[in-house]
């Protein structure tokens, strides 16, 4: 009898090809569409029909608004830069997948994320970087280890999106040429400021100041800026200006003529997929301070609720609210939310 797997089916090309690959590997695939009030059910149903797999709708709108949208708004209120996918994956998406897998007796769950899993010498589950050009392990670093142990990521070994689209075309899938999903699924028009205003989370205008406190002009609200930003400031100066810091206590945006580099950050709410790394105190690893390919060598000093991270060489513009994700080669150790930088 084929083993069951519950796959998150969005109607996009990645999840559709992931489903097709799992079927080729002999799994009994059950699709799950996460219904959070954003539409898309018809595309997911079309994909399920083309793939000849059943589709279950998991209604999680209230949970999504409470856990993801509220977090998104509150992070901006605190002059931070949120990453909603990092929060949604463990609290909403993968929880819905595991709930339904338990309901139907499926041992595995799967998504179209570009990531991989493995086991260490002691048989413990590991989350690994993808070998593909695109790697989404950063977005998955808050998954519990027991969830990772059940995960299948069929696209983790693909070379990239072009290969996935070519596979979809060969299978005659409607999703083959569907545009990539938006960075923030619940703001499809990309108007973050408008969304925040509608949800009562937009910050009021205030002053641009330099590092001495001298007023340089007026800003549109702290939510419009992030540390390291250098475009769209609208302030005349003798050279290029950078956002150096955000000060919610005074509603000021600090500008500087020098780019922003930090040698140390503090991180809150650390989550370790592989807690053995932190079991004996400080340890060395690579750290990503944003969703990108770049990682930097650092020493991590675990604290009671987070960590202090000291980089071998200063890193550019680590932003409050973003995730600092720790790696040992391909292994994702864990990560937390950047609280402050020095």
Given a cut of 60, whether residue 342 has pLDDT beyond it is no
- pLDDT category at 145 given cuts 50, 70, 90 is very high
What mean pLDDT is predicted for residues 188-211? 91
Number of H helices, E strands in the chain: 9, 17
CA 50 to chain centre: 29
Given a cut of 60, whether residue 139 has pLDDT beyond it is yes
Would residue 166 count as lying in a domain?
A: yes
Would residue 185 count as lying in a domain?
A: no
Pairing verdict, β 116-119 and 331-341: unpaired
Would residue 243 count as lying in a domain?
A: yes
Using alpha carbons only, how large is the chain's radius of gyration in Å? 21
Q: Which residues of 262-275 are buried (b: 16+ CB within 10 A; e: fewer)?
A: bebbbbeebbbbbe
User: Are residues 147 and 235 both part of a single domain?
Assistant: no
Single out the catalytic residue among 88, 151, 203, 285. 88
Average model confidence (pLDDT) across the chain? 94
User: Are residues 217 and 88 both part of a single domain?
Assistant: no
By CB atoms closer than 10 A (0-12, 13-18, 19+), residue 295 is middle
What mean pLDDT is predicted for residues 323-341? 94
Given a cut of 70, whether residue 341 has pLDDT beyond it is no
User: Are residues 19 and 84 both part of a single domain?
Assistant: yes
Instruction: List C-alpha distances in Å: 307 to 14, 282, 313.
Output: 35, 9, 18
User: Are residues 32 and 90 both part of a single domain?
Assistant: yes
3-state DSSP call for residue 332?
strand
User: Are residues 26 and 148 both part of a single domain?
Assistant: yes
CA 75 to chain centre: 15
Given a cut of 60, whether residue 135 has pLDDT beyond it is yes
Active site residue 151: no
pLDDT 10s digits, 57-79: 999 999 999 999 999 999 998 89
What mean pLDDT is predicted for residues 144-161? 94
Range of the domain at 317: 261-341
The CATH number that applies at residue 330 is 2.40.30.10
Global pTM exceeds 0.85: yes
User: Are residues 77 and 112 both part of a single domain?
Assistant: yes
pLDDT of residue 179: 83
3-state DSSP call for residue 249?
coil
pLDDT of residue 102: 98
Nearest partner of 279 among 212, 342, 333, judged by Cα: 333
Nearest partner of 264 among 211, 300, 306, 302, judged by Cα: 300
Nearest partner of 143 among 178, 183, 105, 93, judged by Cα: 93
Residue 181 has φ and ψ, to the nearest 5°, of -70, 160
User: Are residues 282 and 248 both part of a single domain?
Assistant: no
pLDDT 10s digits, 217-247: 999 999 999 999 999 898 988 889 999 999 9
User: Are residues 141 and 54 both part of a single domain?
Assistant: yes
| Structural domain count of the chain | 3
Given a cut of 80, whether residue 265 has pLDDT beyond it is yes
User: Are residues 166 and 280 both part of a single domain?
Assistant: no
E strand intervals along 140-272: 151-152, 206-209, 215-219, 242-247, 252-256, 261-272
Q: Which residues of 297-309 are buried (b: 16+ CB within 10 A; e: fewer)?
A: ebebbbeeebbbb
Single out the catalytic residue among 69, 85, 151, 185. 185
The CA angle 238-244-248, to the nearest 5 degrees, is 125
Question: What is the spatial distance between Cα 134 and Cα 16, in angstroms, rounded to a whole number?
Answer: 17
Given a cut of 80, whether residue 93 has pLDDT beyond it is yes
E strand intervals along 17-172: 28-35, 55-59, 108-110, 116-119, 125-128, 151-152
pLDDT of residue 281: 95
Nearest partner of 148 among 120, 108, 121, judged by Cα: 108
Percent of the chain at pLDDT exceeding 70: 99
User: Are residues 334 and 245 both part of a single domain?
Assistant: no
E strand intervals along 146-241: 151-152, 206-209, 215-219
């Amino acid at each position: 009898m084929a083993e069951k797997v519950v796959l998150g089916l969005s109607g996009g090309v990645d999840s559709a090809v992931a489903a097709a690959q799992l079927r080729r590997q002999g799994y009994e695939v059950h699709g799950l569409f996460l219904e959070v009030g954003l539409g898309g059910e018809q595309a997911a149903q079309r994909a399920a029909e083309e793939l000849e797999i059943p589709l279950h709708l998991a209604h999680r709108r209230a949970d999504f608004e409470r856990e993801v949208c509220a977090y998104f708004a509150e992070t901006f209120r605190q002059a931070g830069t949120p990453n909603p996918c990092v929060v949604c994956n463990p609290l909403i998406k993968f929880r819905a997948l595991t709930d339904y897998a338990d309901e139907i007796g499926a041992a595995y769950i799967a998504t179209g994320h570009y990531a991989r899993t493995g086991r260490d010498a002691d048989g413990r589950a590991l989350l690994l970087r993808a070998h593909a050009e695109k790697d989404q392990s950063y977005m998955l670093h808050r998954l519990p280890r027991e969830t990772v142990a059940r995960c299948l990521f069929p696209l983790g070994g693909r070379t990239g999106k072009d290969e996935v689209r070519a596979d979809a075309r060969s299978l005659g899938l409607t999703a083959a040429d569907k545009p990539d999903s938006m960075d923030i699924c619940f703001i499809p028009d990309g108007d973050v400021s408008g969304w925040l205003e509608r949800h009562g989370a937009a910050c009021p205008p205030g002053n641009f100041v330099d590092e001495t406190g001298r007023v340089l002009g007026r800003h549109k609200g702290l939510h419009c800026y992030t540390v390291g930003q250098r475009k769209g400031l609208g302030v005349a100066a003798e050279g290029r200006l950078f956002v150096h810091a955000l000060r919610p206590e005074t509603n000021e945006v600090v500008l500087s003529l020098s780019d922003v580099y930090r040698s140390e950050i503090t991180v809150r709410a650390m989550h370790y997929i592989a807690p053995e790394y932190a079991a004996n105190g400080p340890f060395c690893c690579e750290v990503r301070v944003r969703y990108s390919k770049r990682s930097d060598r650092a020493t991590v000093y675990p604290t009671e609720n987070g960590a202090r991270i000291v980089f071998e060489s200063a890193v550019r513009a680590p932003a409050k609210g973003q995730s600092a994700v720790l790696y040992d080669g391909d292994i994702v150790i864990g990560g937390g939310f950047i609280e402050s930088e020095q």
